[in-house]
Amino acid sequence: MTTRRRQAAAGSHTTRRRSRRTLTIAVASVVLIGLAVLGLQYAATDGTPAAYALAPESVLTPRIRQAPPRIRENYRFAVANRDTLSKFPCFCGCFLEAGHRNNAACYIRDVKPDGTVEFDLMSLG
């Protein structure tokens, strides 16, 4: 192999190494930025993602307030996001037994004209 070919081959190898290094740095940067954004979503003190609204615990009945934190969060989400939740069908089959037409009905039976929420307790477990 001539000297010129060796130099060209070495230059090509160096260029590939730089490209790999640049790609590695770019991927690592994207991952770190993604993790930072994800970390900002968990800014609430109780670990609840700040990406969606939750109703205050005070709207829950005493029985629901005794449920585990994740169950309480589900009920609070249902109260604050009923319109959104009503767009999703129920997947547990309660539409057959309880007549639920959407996922919001698994948590909220009715909302009175004064704003009082009547809960469905089936999601307590």
Domain that holds residue 64: 57-124
Task: Check whether 10 has a pLDDT greater than 60.
Answer: no
Where is pLDDT greater, at 63 or 49? 63
Where is pLDDT greater, at 48 or 75? 75
pLDDT (tens digit per residue) in 76-113? 999 999 999 888 887 776 665 666 778 888 899 889 99
pLDDT at 34: 46
Domain count, the chain: 2
Residues 37 and 88 placed together within one structural domain of the fold:
no
Angle at 78 between CA 73 and CA 79, to 5 degrees: 100
Residues 63 and 120 placed together within one structural domain of the fold:
yes
Residues 41 and 75 placed together within one structural domain of the fold:
no
pLDDT at 90: 78
Residue type, 35: L
For the entire predicted model, the pTM comes to 0.57
Residues 78 and 111 placed together within one structural domain of the fold:
yes
Residues 7 and 44 placed together within one structural domain of the fold:
yes
- Say which residues have a Cβ less than 8 Å from residue 111's Cβ, sequence separation at least 6: 82, 117, 118
Residues 61 and 119 placed together within one structural domain of the fold:
yes
Residues 42 and 81 placed together within one structural domain of the fold:
no
Residues 44 and 68 placed together within one structural domain of the fold:
no
Rounded to whole angstroms, the Cα distance separating 92 from 61 reads: 23
Where is pLDDT greater, at 79 or 123? 79
